[in-house]
Amino acid sequence: MKNRNNRQSIRELPQNSLGKIAPQDVKMEAAVIGAMIYDFRLFEDEAKDLMSEEGFFYRESYRVIFESFSDLINQRKDPDQLMLMNDLSAKGKLELVGGAYELTILCQPLTATTFKTYVLSLYEKHLARKVILSGSKMIEDAYDSTNDIFEVISESEKTVLELSIKNNGNDVQHIQKSAKSVLDEVTHKILNRIEISGVLSGFKNLDAVTGGWQKTDLIILAARPSVGKTAFSLNLALHAAETGKPTAVFNLEMGAEQLTKRLLANISSVDMYQINNPLGNESMRIAPMVDYEIGELTRAQQHLSKIPLYIDDTSALTVSQLKSKCRRLNRKHGLELIVVDYLQLMRGNSEYKGNREQEIAQISRELKVLAKELKVPIIALSQLSRGVETRADKKPTLSDLRESGAIEQDADIVSFLYRATDEQIKEQPLLTGATLFDIQKHRNGRLDAMPFYSKLEIQKFYEKNPKDQVFNGPMQMNGTTFSSFEPIENPHKSFTGISPNEHDEVPF
C-alpha cells in the first residue's frame, strides 16, 4: 500500500462527504489558553500530556500560543502575558496570533476544576477529529484499486486499535512500578507454588527449560521435511487447548480435515492408516477398524468439540490476513497461543514481492509485533536449508534457517528438531529412534537439548520411549500363572538432567 502523509490538517477533513463541520469548540479553546496565561500553575502533568498531542487545538493561532507557552515552561520559566508576547515576537509569530491585544483579551481566570473539565472536553473533540481523519483515509485506500484490500483491512484494524490502546493503554512509568510488579509476581509464584508461568507444552523437561511458552514470545521451531515438526506442533497446540488455553493453529500446507485426522489419531491412539482406510487392506495385512477403535474415535471427536482449539487452513495466507484473523479471534475468544505452520509458505506485503529474503524478514518481524500486541506466544514453524544435509553430524545451526537471518534476530526462542545421529546413538544407545529438540537461542533463558520419542503413526511425541515398557502376558512358573504389566525403567536422563515424569501415561 502506498505510503501517504497522515498528518493532514484538520481543516482538510472531508466536510463535503459528510456535510458537517469537524468537532470543535474554539470558545472553549480560548478559555483554556486564557486561563493558562492568567495562571501557569494550571498547566500540570495530566493537562500537559493531553494538550501536547498534535492536533489538540482546532484553531491554528491557539496552537502557536500553546507551543510558545510550552517552550517557556521547558526553559524553566514561569510564563506570563509579557513573557509570551516577547517570545512570540522573537519567533516572528506575534501577528499570527492576533498581536498583543489578542493575548490581553484572552487572559481570563478559570477554576482548576473548570479548566480540567474544559481540557477533557477538548481532548474528546480532538479524538473525534482523529477518528474522522482515519476513517477518511480508510475510505480513500479502499477506493484505490492498486492497494491490496487485505492490507487495507489490516492497516485499518491497526489504526483503530492504536487509537484505543493510546487512550486506554500504558504511559511512560517510573521503574519503581515495574520493579514492584515483578516482585509481586515472584511472591505470588512462591506463595501459590507456581513452577511454570507460561502456557504448558505438555512436556516436563521442555517446560522446565522455558518456564512454559511466555507471553509476547516468538518461538521458531525449525526442521527439515518429514522430521515431524507439524506433529510436534500439534502436540503442543492440543495440550494448550486441553488445559483451557484458547489456541489457534494456522496451517498453510494441510487442510482442516487432514489436521483433524492427526488430532483424532493422537487422542484415540488409532493408527492414521486405519483412519484413512477404515476397511483395512488385505494385501498389506491391515485389519479393518473394529468397534473398540470406532468408539475411541468417537470419544476423541467429543473431546475435541469441548476444547478451545481453532484451525485455519487458508493457503498462501498473507501476514495481514493472519493479523486480522488473530485480532478477531482474540476479541471473541481471548487467544493464549498461536501456531503458524509454516513461515516460508506465508506471503508478505506486496511491496516486497520479488525479494523473498526481505519478504520473510517482514513476516517474522510482523509475527513478533503481533505477539507483543496480543500478548500471546506465537510458535512459528520454519524450514531449514539443505546445507544441514551436507554435514556429517546433520545437526542444524542458526545459519541454516531458510531464506532469512532476520528470523533469528526477531525470535525469542529458536529450536531445532532433528533425529539423533549415529554418533550420538553410539555414545548413548538409548537415543535410538530419538528426535532431539535443540534450543540454540533463548533470549530469556538457557540453551538446552532434550530427546523425544515419536509414534508418528498416531502423531504423538513422548519424553519416555514407549518401547522401554513391555507387557508380559500370562506365563507359567513353578505351577503358578502370572499376568502382569511390568515397566522397564528407562535409565536415560534427559539432557536437562531432569527425569521424565514417572507417572506419564505411555500407550502401547
Domains and CATH numbers, the chain: 10-168 (1.10.860.10), 204-487 (3.40.50.300)
Alpha helices in 169-281 (DSSP H): 175-191, 204-210, 229-242, 256-268, 272-276
Residue 9 confidence (pLDDT) above 50:
no
Taking the C-alpha atoms of residue 294 and residue 264, their distance in angstroms, rounded to an integer, is 11
pLDDT of 378: 93
Q: Is the pTM of this model over 0.85?
A: no
How far apart, in Å, do the first and last CA atoms of the chain sit? 55
Amino acid identity of 439?
Answer: I
For residue 487 the three cell numbers come to 515397566
- Burial readout 195-208 (b: 16 or more C-beta within 10 A, e: otherwise): eeebbbbbbbbbbb
pLDDT at residue 114 is higher than 80: yes
Residue 370: name the closest of 416, 417, 317 by CA: 317
**290 by DSSP, 3-state: which?**
coil
**Between 162 and 497, the higher pLDDT residue:** 162
Q: What's residue 162's pLDDT?
A: 65
C-alpha 480/C-alpha 365 separation (Å) is: 68
Q: Is the pLDDT of residue 499 over 50?
A: no
Residues 6+ apart with CB under 8 A from 268: 293, 296, 297, 299, 300, 458
Position 339 confidence tier, pLDDT thresholds 50, 70, 90: very high
Q: Is the pLDDT of residue 82 over 70?
A: yes
More confident residue, 309 or 21: 309
- pLDDT at residue 213 greater than cutoff 70: yes
Residue 393: pLDDT band by 50, 70, 90 thresholds?
A: low
What local confidence, expressed as pLDDT, does residue 505 receive?
A: 42
Q: Residue 46: its pLDDT value, please?
A: 67
Average pLDDT over residues 457-468: 77
Half-sphere exposure of 86 (CA within 13 A, CB side): 6
The one-letter amino acid code at 313 reads D
Task: Find the mean pLDDT for residues 139-157.
Answer: 79
Q: Would you state the pLDDT for residue 26?
A: 85
**Mean pLDDT for the chain overall:** 77
